[in-house]
Amino acid sequence: MKKPVSFPVSLCIAAAAGTLVLVIVLIKCLLNVARAGGAAVAPSSAAQTPALTFPQETHLRNLRQLTFAGENAEAYFSADDRWLIYQGHEGDENCDQIYIMDTSGGNRRLVSTGRGRTTCGYFFPAGDRILYSSTHLGSPACPPRPDYSKGYVWPLEKSYEIFTAKPDGSDLVRLTSAPGYDAEATISRDGRKIVFTSVRDGDLEIYTMDSEGTNVRRLTREAGYDGGAFFSYDGKQIVYRADHLTDAKEVEDFRSLLSDGLVRPTRLEIYVMNADGTGQRQVTQLGAASFAPYFHPDGKRIIFSSNRGDPSGREFDIYMVDVDGTGLERITYADGFDGFPMFSSDGKRLVFGSNRNAAKPGDTNVFIADWVP
C-alpha cells in the first residue's frame, strides 16, 4: 500500500507503487531508519512465541513468525491456503524479488527472475500460475533510489510491467506494454479479471484486463493516486486506496512529481467500487495514510493498515471497518509497522507484515495467526 526508509510495493501494492514495496519504504522513512531488506531463509518453528503478541490483540491467536531477516512483505495466500507468495530482499544493495513458501515458513524459493525490482506477487486461483510486476526488462540492476530532496516520495519506475509465470518461475509471459508504470496487479477469484494501477493515461488510475492481458478498461478518473486494488471474494466489488486531489496547488504538485516518475503518498483513504468501476465511494475518513485494504471473505468488512493512531505518523497498525465505514476497530498494537493483512479464504487465518521481533531496526517480516472473530 506497500513501499517505499519503512511506509510498496503495491504493490499490490496492490499492490505497489510497489508499488507496495513502496509502502514498506514509507514506513522506514517515517521511522527514520535506513532501508535494510531481506527475504528470510529459515522456516519458523510451529511453536507459538508469546512475546510476539500483545494483550489487546484479542483477534490473533497462535501467532507465528515465518521470516526472520531483512524486508519481507505483501504476503498473500494461494486459493487453497497452502502457500504464500511475498516479496523480500536482504541487504541495502539488493532489490525486492518474489518468493513463495508454505504457510509454516518452509519450502521457500525464488520465483521471479532475480533481476531488476519486483512487486505485488499474487497466485492465480487455480494455482497453476503467479502474477507479479518487474523492472527487469528495463535493466537487470536495481533502479536508483528517488530524490528525497523533494520530500517523502515513492518512485514509480517506468520500466515496471506486469507478468505471469508458472509457480516455479518458468514460462514468463508479459501482459502489459504501455509506456510507464504498470504494477499493483491482483486477480479475481474466478481467474478471469486482473485489476492493476497504471499511468498510461497520464494519471495514477485503476484498470482491469482479462487474465491474458487483453480488454483493458479504465475504472477511475479522479485526479490523484488510485491503487492497491483487490477484488472481493465474490468478484462483485473492488477495494482500493486513494488520495483524491481537489486543491489546485496540490494537483499541480502531484502532476509535477508524476512527470518525474514520483508520487507523494502521505494521505490515503480506503474506497470501494463495483467491479465495473461504478458506485465509487469513500469508506474511511481518517485523514491519515491508510492503505493495503483487503476484504474479509464475508464481504461485509475490510481489513487495512493505517497510521491514524499516531500523531507523528510513524506507527502503523492494522484496523478493520465495516464496508459502510462504521465499526472501526484496531487489531494490532505492536510498535512500528503492522500492515499488508490478508485473510485465508475461510477467514480462519490472517497473514501480515510486521516490525515486531525484528533482528535489527527496520526489518519487516511475515507473520501468520489464527483469527478469532
Write down the pLDDT at residue 265.
81
Interval 235-244: pLDDT, tens: 999 999 999 9
Mean pLDDT of the chain: 88
Write down the pLDDT at residue 341.
99
Residue 150 lies in a domain: yes
Residue 8 lies in a domain: no
d(CA 107, CA 58): 30
Cβ–Cβ under 8 Å, residues 198 and 181: yes
Interval 149-165: pLDDT, tens: 878 788 899 999 999 99
Interval 120-135: pLDDT, tens: 999 999 999 999 999 9
Residue 214 lies in a domain: yes
Q: Residue 229 sits in which domain range?
A: 20-371
Write down the pLDDT at residue 227.
98
Write down the pLDDT at residue 63.
98
Residue 4 lies in a domain: no
DSSP line for 189-243: TTSSEEEEEE-TTSSBEEEEEETTS-S-EE---SSEEEEEEEE-TTSSEEEEEEE
Residue 10 lies in a domain: no
Residue 6 lies in a domain: no
pTM, whole model, 2 decimals? 0.88
Helix (H, G, I), strand (E, B) or coil at 74: strand
**Residue 92 — pLDDT band, cuts 50, 70, 90?**
low
Write down the pLDDT at residue 50.
42
Helix (H, G, I), strand (E, B) or coil at 26: helix
Interval 18-72: pLDDT, tens: 444 444 444 444 443 333 333 333 444 444 444 689 999 999 999 999 999 999 9
Q: Which residue has the higher pLDDT, 276 or 148?
A: 276
Of 5, 343, 48, 12, nearest in space to 145 by CA: 5
> 167-187 burial string, b = 16+ CB within 10 Å, else e?
bebeeeeebbeeebbbbbbbb
DSSP line for 318-367: EEEEETTS---EE----SSBEEEEEE-TTSSEEEEEE-TT-SSTT-BEEE
The total domain count for the chain is: 1
Q: Which residue type, as a one-letter code, is found at position 319? A: Y
Write down the pLDDT at residue 90.
81
Residue 58 lies in a domain: yes
CATH number at residue 264: 2.120.10.30
Is the confidence at residue 17, as pLDDT, over 60?
no
Is the confidence at residue 350, as pLDDT, over 70?
yes
Residue 61 lies in a domain: yes
Helix (H, G, I), strand (E, B) or coil at 99: strand
Q: Which residue has the higher pLDDT, 3 or 96?
A: 96
Write down the pLDDT at residue 179.
92
Q: What share of the chain is helix, strand, coil (3-state, %, to 5)?
A: 10, 40, 55
Cβ–Cβ under 8 Å, residues 102 and 75: no
Is the confidence at residue 296, as pLDDT, over 90?
yes
